[in-house]
Amino acid sequence: MLNRIARPEHERFRPTIAPRFAELPADPEVVVIGAGAAGIAAARLLAARGVRVAVIEARGRVGGRVVTTHLRGHAVDLGAHWLHAGPINPLVQLGTVRGEPLRVAAQNSHLWVGRRPGRPAEASAHGRAFAVTDRFLTTEAARGGLDRPAARALPPGLGPWGERVALVHGLVSGRPLDEVSLQDFPSMEYGDNRFIAGGYGAYLARLAQGLPIALRTEATGIDWSGAGVRVETADGTALSARAVIITLPMMVLQQGPAFTPALPEAVRGAIDGFRPGIYEHAVLHWPSSPFRGADRLASIVGGRHMPPGLLTRLDGTPFHYFELDLPSCASLDARGGGPDGTRRFVRTVLAEHFGERALRDLTVSAVSEWRHDPWSRGSWAVVPPGHAGARQVLLEPIADRLWFAGEALSRLQWGTAGGAYEEGERAARAVAAALGR
Ligand SMILES: Cc1cc2nc3c(=O)[nH]c(=O)nc-3n(C[C@H](O)[C@H](O)[C@H](O)COP(=O)(O)OP(=O)(O)OC[C@H]3O[C@@H](n4cnc5c(N)ncnc54)[C@H](O)[C@@H]3O)c2cc1C
């Protein structure tokens, strides 16, 4: 069973909101596996259409890779924090209708070079390098059929900023650019983002209020050999239904649950071809940080260590995210220091750029380890070069009884909670139609 692996640090923090749930129906028509963004979306849509739905969730909370906790009285997200792609993100549209406290994310950012603030000329050269790259990659990819490493399509002539650009794109892609298909670039929407007061995880928890969800219920087997589907759980019970929506992360599906009969070869191949995207937060409490203004990204360059990303003064609080990419996580894991090893690493990097004295009031309050979390095994699923067709394969239902959903299926919003929500709704609409609702 997957839950024998030690609990990662981010799972030890309590969510700010614990919604109340309805009882599972005795005879569900649809079982939804997983209560992250995709599972919550699917359950809400099915319930609204009058379909008897039962959601089972392995963790003791909802939200999956979107969770908000309280740190020193502030609500802080330990997973997703940005509502990306405002115009096409269903969670932005729904939040607007519900009157949720959304705000447009600041566009301003800081630049720090070596041990000093960046000069205006450096800041504009830095900004230009990103703008040129975004335009170039998007145009290249938009030409279509370019399922090749994104690294090979970086524009020439970026000069000293080329390394920084590749580092940041590798961070937000979840893997270095030679391991990411260029095909995905048109969908990378960094503009028009939103934040939400009180945290993204708290928002999703509010959306789960009143749904029929059973927590601490791990699906261990999915038997679709009969007319419907039987979902077996770790406590030995089973739920039978007409159909199932499976919202588990691809990296989890690579390990289990067991399917009877086995999944068709093309589907198994699609699932197994994804690679884990790695992106982690070290949450800093650093009141005296030199970065002013709320919610601003900071680029720190020109030292032995270049942190790939920093989001400063979250919601105007003294909290900041120090972001860790795959190469940093791999080297930390090789050293085996766990979350405290990450804390030491973060201090070393910041000390190089700001000096030890500037860190006197720094605490690393939390370190996420989604890559070691048995229920996620990564931050999102990455399509490596040559595997771009996988999302499309998984959109097709199997035998009109098994549907997949989740961030990995979204063509335009992959890797995001908005994409997961969109896919949960898509699968639920298809299941409802198959049931004649
Ligand atoms: C550190 C970090 C930062 C991120 N930042 C952003 C961001 O700023 N903006 C953004 O949009 N996205 C971001 N993401 C990505 C985003 O969090 C995910 O893409 C999204 O939450 C995925 O939703 P999902 O429903 O597809 O999967 P999940 O949220 O993983 O939901 C799947 C659910 O299935 C459950 N489960 C797993 N196995 C079983 C089982 N056997 N039985 C029952 N239940 C099971 C899991 O516990 C989980 O609750 C970030 C992710 C991380 C880790």
Tell me which of 330, 345, 372 is where a domain ends.
372
Q: Is residue 413 located within the same domain as residue 349?
A: no
CA of 67 to the centre of ligand 1 (A): 9
Residue identified by tokens 């938009």 is: 142
Tell me which of 338, 372, 406 is where a domain ends.
372
Burial class (CB in 10 A: 0-12, 13-18, 19+), 99: exposed
Quick check: 298 pLDDT over 70? yes
The verdict on residue 401 lying in a domain is yes
Residues with CB under 6 A from ligand 1: 33-39, 56-59, 64-66, 79-82, 84, 218-219, 247-249, 252, 257, 279-281, 368, 370, 375-376, 379-380, 406-407, 415-418, 420
Query: Using DSSP, how many helices (H) and how many strands (E) does the chain show?
Result: 11, 22
Position 68 scores a pLDDT of 98
CA 216 vs. chain centroid, Å, equals: 21
> In this prediction, what percent of the chain has a pLDDT beyond 70?
96
Q: Is residue 130 located within the same domain as residue 261?
A: no
Give the C-alpha distances (Å, rounded to integers) separating 355 from 67, 225, 260, 323, 364. 33, 63, 58, 20, 16
Q: What is the CATH number of the domain that holds 399?
A: 3.50.50.60
The verdict on residue 23 lying in a domain is yes
Q: How confident is residue 1, by pLDDT bands cut at 50, 70 and 90?
A: very low
pLDDT tens by residue, 376-410? 999 999 999 999 899 999 999 999 999 999 999 99
pLDDT tens by residue, 64-93? 999 999 999 999 999 999 999 999 999 999
CB 219 within 8 A of CB 237: no
Q: How far is it, in rounded angstroms, from Cα 231 to Cα 21? A: 20
Given the CA of residue 34, which atom of ligand 1 is nearest to it? 34
Given the CA of residue 280, which atom of ligand 1 is nearest to it? 1
Q: How far is it, in rounded angstroms, from Cα 62 to Cα 210? A: 12
Tell me how crowded residue 151 is: count the other CB atoms within 10 A of its CB.
16
Q: How far is it, in rounded angstroms, from Cα 132 to Cα 393? A: 33
State the greatest distance between any 2 C-alpha atoms of the chain, in Å, as a whole number.
68
Query: In total, how many domains does the chain have?
Result: 2
CB 37 within 8 A of CB 85: no
Rg, C-alpha atoms of the chain: 22
Helix (H, G, I), strand (E, B), or coil: what is residue 191? coil
- Which residue's alpha carbon is nearest to atom 12 within ligand 1? 416
CA of 424 to the centre of ligand 1 (A): 12
pLDDT tens by residue, 176-204? 999 998 887 755 555 689 999 999 999 99
CA of 264 to the centre of ligand 1 (A): 25
CA of 415 to the centre of ligand 1 (A): 9
Q: Is residue 127 located within the same domain as residue 141?
A: yes
Q: Is residue 315 located within the same domain as residue 427?
A: no
- Which residue's alpha carbon is nearest to atom 6 within ligand 1? 80
The verdict on residue 73 lying in a domain is no
The verdict on residue 125 lying in a domain is yes
CA of 328 to the centre of ligand 1 (A): 21
The verdict on residue 240 lying in a domain is yes
Structural domain boundaries enclosing 28: 2-67+198-274+387-434
Ligand 1, pocket-test mutation among 55, 66, 82, 370, most atoms within 8 A of CB: 66
Q: Is residue 182 located within the same domain as residue 293?
A: yes
Ligand 1, pocket-test mutation among 65, 83, 232, most atoms within 8 A of CB: 65
Q: Is residue 32 located within the same domain as residue 181?
A: no
Which helix or strand (DSSP H or E) is residue 223 part of?
strand 219-223
Q: Is residue 132 located within the same domain as residue 230?
A: no
CA of 161 to the centre of ligand 1 (A): 32
Ligand 1, pocket-test mutation among 255, 375, 391, 422, most atoms within 8 A of CB: 375
The verdict on residue 72 lying in a domain is no
The verdict on residue 89 lying in a domain is no
Position 140 scores a pLDDT of 74
Q: Is residue 281 located within the same domain as residue 252?
A: no
Ligand 1, pocket-test mutation among 248, 279, 324, 391, most atoms within 8 A of CB: 248
Q: How far is it, in rounded angstroms, from Cα 173 to Cα 152? A: 15
Interhelix angle 90-98/200-208, nearest 10 degrees:
70
The contacts of residue 329 (CB under 8 Å, 6+ apart) are: 278, 280, 371
Q: Please, which residues bridge with residue 15 across strands?
A: 69
Position 142 scores a pLDDT of 65
Position 187 scores a pLDDT of 53
CA of 246 to the centre of ligand 1 (A): 13
CB 303 within 8 A of CB 116: no
Q: Please, which residues bridge with residue 296 across strands?
A: 312
Q: How confident is residue 3, by pLDDT bands cut at 50, 70 and 90?
A: very low
Q: Tell me the two tokens of residue 278.
A: 């790695």
Parallel/antiparallel/unpaired status of strands 74-77 and 102-104: unpaired
- Which residue's alpha carbon is nearest to atom 49 within ligand 1? 64
Q: Please, which residues bridge with residue 110 across strands?
A: 298
